[in-house]
Structure 1
Amino acid sequence: MSGATGEPSPLRVLATRSWALAALGVVAAVVTCVMLGLWQFHRFEAKSARADLIEHNYSAPPVALTDVLPASDSPLAADDGWRTVRLTGEYCTAPECVLYARNRPFNGEVGFAQLVPFRTDDGTVMVARGWVPTQSASSAPADPPEVPTGERTIVVRLRPMEPVLAGRTNPPGQVQSIAIEELAAVEPAAGTLHRGAYGELASEDPAPADAPTPFPRPDTSLGPHLSYAVQWWAFALFFPIAWAVRARRAVLDEIELRRRGGAAQPVHARRAPARSRDEEEEDALLDELRG
């Protein structure tokens, strides 16, 4: 509705197809930015929860295996990831017991994880003793250390079993993933394995003369996900602000045009450039000559 001065209503000025499409584009952009921000924030929350779990469990005093896995078929609870447990027993040193998990990265190289069942009175746990490099000429472990014999006490950090990689074949003595389905072949010699978790070796007593390279501490950095979330939400604010600024400019331009006595024009139309004083004087001179 126009006022007493003849100023146009903002709604009437903006009630055009182009401004409606611009508004829909702004809504779509805002929704997209908000959703992308939420996705990045959820990734931040997941990494933060994982980092807190590692910090809490990684260096905690070790507990008995039965405190975490009461039976051989007990699943590893999410809160018990990286939990340290103390085991007393001995490794299964038979050749068929020693396996190597393929494609394990370490310091920019790809090698193997040495896997050996460890028998205890509370069951047999598959233990990843450490990292072994790959031979340069073939896809096989390079000079893997011997598995120590005799009774010993070890401390391991529990990790959930990995999923089976479909469509892969295993070379002799190797597995693609640390999955119970791939480890079951050692059970005739080693005994029934705990099926919910394997152990990543932290220490051995007595310490062997030669051992695989210890696994590195897991990464607990949170990455840039929180800053990315804030950036996406800032973008979500930018689009409606930019639309509002342009809409206000369009309304003010229309008001100014009417105050000058010009005919109403579409909002998107350009105003004719103002004539210079020289052009006006030339027109006046031509009018006099014609007269």
Structure 2
Amino acid sequence: MIFLRLFSHRLFSRQWWKTTLLVVLAMGVCVRLGIWQLDRLDHRRSFNARVEAQVKQPRLVLEGAALEADLQAMEYRQVIVTGAYDQNAEVALRNQAWNNLIGANLVTPLRIANSGKVILVNRGWIPLEDFTSNDWHKFQEPGEITVRGIIRQSQTRPEIGWRKDVIPGQGEAPLKAWNMINVAGIDSQLPFDLLPVYIQQAPNSAWIGMPYRSLPKVELSEGPHLGYAIQWFIFATILGIGYPIFIRKEEMSAKSRDLPRVTSTTDHIETTSRFIQNVVGGEWTGKG
């Protein structure tokens, strides 16, 4: 009954309605953040399911009918393809690390044998000094070769801290160093069409030189999203339950010390801030 009386008479009284509004807004923010974390959890689970499904698939031989398949839906599937590199159209992916050393990855179009199709291959890492000197010819792999790796989607957003690449316009010199493997962007500066994905070449025990090859480590956990969502919902619940108790405590304290009533906007903001601090500190129950 005390709670009901507080809710009906005090929460929206002239003294407390502004503070109540601020607390309700804070509760809404907490609930929204909780829903956002659940949405991120759902996206994470969907991503994990897609990756696991592709990892379990047999290795795709990229020839014939497979070249017409929806390769963008096959990210992380193992792939094998035979062809010859077009070294003249090679580009580099800058700011790549290998054992804490900075360098670049060489990305080279592979003309797939007996098909007329071309796909980009991330061949691996070279040192910074070789990248900056444009001394890439020593890493060439002439003739027909077989590439093993995984399918990767075109990168549409740069990694944190890097800017998007400025795609060269018609008649401008092709861009040799890129911040991301933007297949469509690289395609726009080439005289031939690329398949919409690229291959991340896998390490091979028989290959002991550069470029150094590696595959991405894909984390398939659900992350902290569920825990964060529960935390935000708990905060919203504590605000809703603790606020009436806080008002009662404040009024009793003010009455015992003959303090003025909360009236100004500044007073309401300060009172709300004090209440939220008590919630965070676990003191809203009035203990201590």
* TM-score bin, normalised by smaller chain: 0.5 to 0.7
Matched, 1:146 2:144: no
Q: Determine the C-alpha separation between the residues in 1 that align with 2:133 and 2:53.
A: 36
Give structure 2 stretches of 5+ with no counterpart.
Answer: 158-163, 259-288
Secondary structure of 1:18 counterpart? coil
Evaluate the alpha carbon distance shift between residue 106 and residue 34 of structure 1 in structure 2; reply closer, same or farther with a 3 A threshold.
farther
Evaluate the alpha carbon distance shift between residue 151 and residue 167 of structure 1 in structure 2; reply closer, same or farther with a 3 A threshold.
closer
CA contact (8 A) 2:10 2:16 kept: no
Q: Determine the C-alpha separation between the residues in 1 that align with 2:27 and 2:154.
A: 41
The structural deviation recorded for 1:45 is 2.6
CA contact (8 A) 2:139 2:211 kept: no
Secondary structure of 2:255 counterpart? coil
Q: 1:271 aligns with which of 235, 256, 271?
A: 256
Pairs within 5 Å for 1:234-273: 234-246=234-246, 269-271=254-256
- Name the residue aligned to 2:212: 213
RMSD: 3.5
Is the deviation greater in 119-128 or in 100-109? 100-109
- Name the residue aligned to 2:283: none
Q: TM-score, normalised by structure 1?
A: 0.66
Matched, 1:84 2:82: no
Matched, 1:99 2:84: no
The structural deviation recorded for 1:22 is 3.1
The structural deviation recorded for 1:239 is 0.3
Q: Determine the C-alpha separation between the residues in 2 that align with 1:212 and 1:110.
A: 13
Q: 2:154 aligns with which of 143, 157, 161?
A: 161
Radius of gyration: which is bigger? 1
Q: 2:180 aligns with which of 169, 177, 182?
A: 177
The structural deviation recorded for 1:70 is 0.2
CA contact (8 A) 2:85 2:111 kept: yes
Q: Could you tell me which amino acid in structure 1 is paired with residue 218 of structure 2? A: D
- Name the residue aligned to 2:194: 193
CA contact (8 A) 2:187 2:193 kept: no
- Name the residue aligned to 1:22: 19
- Name the residue aligned to 1:112: 104
Evaluate the alpha carbon distance shift between residue 55 and residue 107 of structure 1 in structure 2; reply closer, same or farther with a 3 A threshold.
farther
Secondary structure of 2:128 counterpart? coil
Q: Could you tell me which amino acid in structure 2 is paired with residue 270 of structure 1? A: K
Q: Determine the C-alpha separation between the residues in 1 that align with 2:44 and 2:98.
A: 21
Q: TM-score, normalised by structure 2?
A: 0.67
**CA distances 1:159-214 after superposition (whole Å, capped 9, x unpaired):** 22234835478897433432233245454xxx5422x111111266x944523222
Q: Determine the C-alpha separation between the residues in 2 that align with 1:76 and 1:272.
A: 73
Give structure 1 stretches of 5+ with no counterpart.
Answer: 1-8, 251-265, 274-291
CA contact (8 A) 1:99 1:114 kept: yes
